């Protein structure tokens, strides 16, 4: 009896006429297809993470298709322009009570706003002031604001400063009362950056994070 799975011209005819069922896919063919797909994806993504300068060097060396590099260069330039359009802060902005709604609540519609309710009498508040002065220039797309606790309420206790509020879309999404949960009096830039990661303000893969700088 002839094997219905045998690769013969007669079996092909029987399959075309419906006498025999379609041949099951060859495991080898599936493996080869998966490999080809993986290779194609790797090729398609080979320029991911390249800087504009590196793209120019590839173009000059003739190692890549010129049209493809140009298309990818334009994509990277647009990504850079989009990022720069968001980077409009870079400093800690001190405000008073009358500015709260405009500078914080309404501003949080377009970017995350980190509010430091401060007190000159609090050691941790002074520590956080110094940290934010160094963090704000790194993450210019985030608005960092400081307001004196007495502007909030004359009886605001110094023991509850610093208080950190994270605003998004006119709502407080996270609140931190003192630095006890992020490092206390030893809180570092890395500690506070990781807090912002937990608050979904920063991405864990952001290359600007101290943690990721150490890996480079």
From first to last of its 216 residues, the chain has per-residue pLDDT tens of 545 555 555 566 666 656 566 666 555 555 556 555 554 554 555 556 566 676 566 555 554 456 665 666 677 667 666 666 666 889 999 999 999 999 999 999 999 999 999 999 999 999 999 999 999 999 999 999 999 999 999 999 999 999 999 999 999 999 999 999 999 999 999 999 999 999 999 999 988 898 877 654
The DSSP string of 17-70 is TTSSPPPPPPHHHHHHHHHHHHHHHHHHTTTTT--HHHHHHHHHHT-S-HHHHH
Phi, psi of 105 (to 5 degrees): -60, -55
For 92-215, CATH number?
3.40.30.10
With vertex at residue 79, the alpha carbon angle to CA 73 and CA 84, rounded to the nearest 5 degrees, is 125
Residue 23 has what pLDDT?
Answer: 64
134 to 35, 56, 138: CA distances (angstroms)? 47, 33, 7
The domain locations on the chain are 27-86, 92-215
Tell me the whole-structure pTM to 2 decimals. 0.63
């Amino acid at each position: 009896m002839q094997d219905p799975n045998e690769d013969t011209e007669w079996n092909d005819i029987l399959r075309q006429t419906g006498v025999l069922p379609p041949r099951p896919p060859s495991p080898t063919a599936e493996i080869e297809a998966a490999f080809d797909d993986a290779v194609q994806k790797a090729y398609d993504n080979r320029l991911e993470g390249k800087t504009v300068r590196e793209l120019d060097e590839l173009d000059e060396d003739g190692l890549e298709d010129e049209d493809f590099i140009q298309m990818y260069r334009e994509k990277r330039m647009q990504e850079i322009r989009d990022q720069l359009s968001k980077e409009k802060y870079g400093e800690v902005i001190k405000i008073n009570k009358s500015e709260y709604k405009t500078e914080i609540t309404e501003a949080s519609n377009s970017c995350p706003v980190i509010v430091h309710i401060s007190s000159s009498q609090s050691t941790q508040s002074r520590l956080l002031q110094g940290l934010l002065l160094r963090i704000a220039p790194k993450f210019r797309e985030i608005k960092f604001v400081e307001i004196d606790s007495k502007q909030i309420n004359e009886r605001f206790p110094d023991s509850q400063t610093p208080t950190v509020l994270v605003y998004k879309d006119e709502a407080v999404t996270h609140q931190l009362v003192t630095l006890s949960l992020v490092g206390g009096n030893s809180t570092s830039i890395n500690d506070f950056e990781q807090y912002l990661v937990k608050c979904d303000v920063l991405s864990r893969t952001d290359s600007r994070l101290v943690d990721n700088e150490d890996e480079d």
